[in-house]
Amino acid sequence: MRLFVGLGNPGPKYAGHRHNIGFMAVQRIAEEHGFPAFRSKFQGQLAEGRLGNERVALLMPTTFMNNSGQSVGEALRFYKIDPADVIVFHDEIDLAPGKLKCKTGGGHAGHNGLRSIHQHIGPDYARVRMGVGHPGHKDRVPGYVLHDFAKADEAWLDDMLRGCADGAPALAEADTGRFMNAVALRLNPPRPSTGTKGPTPQPGPEPPEPEPEEDEARSPLQKLVDRFK
């Protein structure tokens, strides 16, 4: 059993915010893998289904970001799972937009949603860090993450979310390498080959033979005669 948690704030006002990329990820996973509709449970929105051979619960806490741990802790106790079975999708300002990394354990780096989860279940859970970029100064961070993605972000954001859905079965099996590869294939797809070769170069005219030096043009016999003159 795995618990995938998407972090964000509830309500249409926040739906397009950078801070809500975790919500977006679990919603896309639910859509692409045929999960039933989300229902209210554990102070959040919950959907249960399967990813590959693994049973998975998708959870979006509706406690607002700063109290996300209340919802996660309640779900953890209900399913009787360990923190290691929890995977949290969240925005990461220390990664450039369109970059994604996985991590297990460690600090919360000032992220209020992670801070709350630490308080309720400890640090030993996995995270999918979804890069949204940094506004350039720490004082601008709250306004930056609590703001909609820019129009220019739409393409990479959709690719990242589709990649998360593609790789979700691998992530449920704790194969983070395969999950990361699935995301990378969406963000940086290989260039298609045309399947045709260019024209075969035709040989040009052979360069003319160099004119022999005067001494080289003389026959060996002539050279021998010259020695006795």
210: three-class secondary structure by DSSP:
coil
- Alpha-carbon distance 165 to 171, whole Å? 10
Catalytic residue among 19, 33, 111, 118: 19
Runs of H (alpha helix) within 1-54:
21-32
* 77 contacts 44 by C-beta, under 8 angstroms: no
* 165 contacts 49 by C-beta, under 8 angstroms: no
- Alpha-carbon distance 144 to 93, whole Å? 9
> For the chain, what's the residue count?
229
The crossing angle, in degrees rounded to 10, of helices 68-79 and 112-121 is 40
108: three-class secondary structure by DSSP:
coil
Q: Which two tokens stand for residue 175?
A: 């194969």
Cα torsion angle, 119, 121, 125, 129, sign = negative
- Alpha-carbon distance 186 to 168, whole Å? 13
Active-site residue flag, 19: yes
Write out the catalytic residue numbers: 19
